[in-house]
Structure 1
């Protein structure tokens, strides 16, 4: 997969089939669009192109809008690199760029710079200034510039249309089953292991405290989860707590702590401070609870490990 930081440097040696969008989450609906993109590009002998934006357009256009990302740019690149995509074009999204009309965007960027032959869009795709461009506008411009348009129907799971908004909502409600179903994979995030208060170690349950790579990354709602972690080539099981540690009355800031286990559910003993850890969220176990004492907390953690192990047996 070729990666371009803007459309000006794109090598337009061949005609292209293009899809455009933020593609936050790269969920099942997005993969349906990509599958059609790959089919058409193979049929016409063109190169496939995904044209996306960085940062997310809503972060630029709506300064007061707090959007949490399902996929960071690095995560998008990693996921797309495992597909048949030929080219990824990453457009820096700015106020100036947002002022382009739909006609200017199609004519100056997609046609002139990307050598557009065919565009593939989702069922609700909007583009250009004030999002005035849609499938009908694309077909009108296609007649003008000589490219074809394919609109892909919505992907549905359990009768619902799959969307990034619904996945964010599912994470906010702790509905990991729904989020993972809509994504077509386990929801994940990455960060660096940092030193915490080290209370877990004194309780007999050492934890890895994680500092997120990107503070805009969406997290599941506070609670306890069964997770799978990847670190230094090791694939480990774990029990994760996201929350405020109410039993210890710490400062009111969310922490992410993972008790790592080997595949026999024993402790993972390696020193991993400063290492990068990837966390895949498998199942929600319970809400975060304030316990009356440390002894009751220890009993609950043992119960969480047993509940988590039952979920691990299903994967």
Structure 2
């Protein structure tokens, strides 16, 4: 069981000691997975708790909303993906200008030390934290000495999941940016390689034009509020996972539809191997479903 807290005040007073890392973890890609797996191993070896601190909304949505990146996944899917790795707890910090105003020492002292009782902090060599991103690795090492916790520096990870060695090779650091670029190009196969799983969207099924249903294929039209990065327009092979957890092979259409407010993008998953009951009896409307993109056709 993974504990999920939405504020440091929710952390039990007797929780810890813990091994902690923090970040946005958008996509929970293979680089994130390697870091968190190492954190979990360290926690198990030291008999402590493995904790990830993440932020919602993404800091860019607060500081520069006009240029903030589209999120790869919604918060619910991020928590599911983090929990599946074996963490003991996840602290979701509500990101705000007040949180952003904390100095590096205040953030570490109040959140990592006072609330989570960190005995180890795992940090990337290029991590920044605290007011104005003024904290860095050297800052964390100094705070580790002050607050009596160890600092573990993590490596960058390439697409194969191994640390990069800067040997002139062509491997690229796993990053959320790489995933977004691949999805913008409709290259869901590369996105899946970096993510370590197919890219997913989650949303409620709403009524559409029913063209697929008229052709005998139940269709799930995702609501515009669906979470997850919408890939480039096109047709994709993939899966639809219904509310009961049943996986159905699907042909997924992504396209742009003119509306009174401009152009909206629509995701429609056509179930191609449904049960034998009549198509009108295979009702997905109102369900919250997951759509997985496997290949572009």
The alignment's TM-score, normalised by the length of structure 2, stands at 0.88
- Other structure's SS at 2:8 match: coil
Matched residue, 1:54: 56
Q: How does 1:48-197 map to 2 (within 5 A)?
A: 48-157=50-159, 159-197=171-209
CA distance in 2, matches of 1:238, 1:35: 32
Alpha-carbon displacement from aligned partner over 1:6-62 (angstroms, at most 9, x marks no partner): 112212423111001111111101011111111111121111111111111111111
Matched residue, 2:239: 228
Question: Using a 3 Å threshold, how does the CA distance of structure 1 residues 226 and 100 change in structure 2: closer, same or farther?
Answer: same
Matched residue, 2:164: none
Structure 1 window deviating more from structure 2 (121-130 vs 203-212): it is 203-212
* Cα offset, 1:262, TM superposition: 1.5
- Other structure's SS at 1:104 match: helix
Tell whether the 8 Å contact from 1:260 to 1:267 is kept in structure 2 after alignment.
no
Please tell me whether residue 26 in structure 1 is matched to residue 28 in structure 2: yes
Return the match for 1:277 from 282, 289, 296.
289
Instruction: Pick the structure with greater CA Rg.
Output: 1
* Cα offset, 1:120, TM superposition: 0.6
Listed as ranges, the gaps of 5+ residues in structure 2 are 161-170
Matched residue, 2:250: 238
Alpha-carbon displacement from aligned partner over 1:122-165 (angstroms, at most 9, x marks no partner): 34321111112111211111111111111110110161100001
CA distance in 2, matches of 1:143, 1:206: 60
CA distance in 2, matches of 1:197, 1:263: 20
Question: Using a 3 Å threshold, how does the CA distance of structure 1 residues 206 and 107 change in structure 2: closer, same or farther?
Answer: closer
Question: Using a 3 Å threshold, how does the CA distance of structure 1 residues 240 and 112 change in structure 2: closer, same or farther?
Answer: same
Matched residue, 2:6: 5
Please tell me whether residue 219 in structure 1 is matched to residue 220 in structure 2: no
CA distance in 2, matches of 1:195, 1:5: 34
Matched residue, 2:266: 255
CA distance in 2, matches of 1:12, 1:127: 25
* Cα offset, 1:206, TM superposition: 4.8
CA distance in 2, matches of 1:81, 1:72: 14
CA distance in 1, matches of 2:152, 2:39: 9
CA distance in 1, matches of 2:277, 2:186: 27
CA distance in 1, matches of 2:217, 2:12: 54
CA distance in 1, matches of 2:132, 2:277: 55
Tell whether the 8 Å contact from 2:40 to 2:86 is kept in structure 1 after alignment.
yes
Matched residue, 2:167: none
Listed as ranges, the gaps of 5+ residues in structure 1 are 286-315
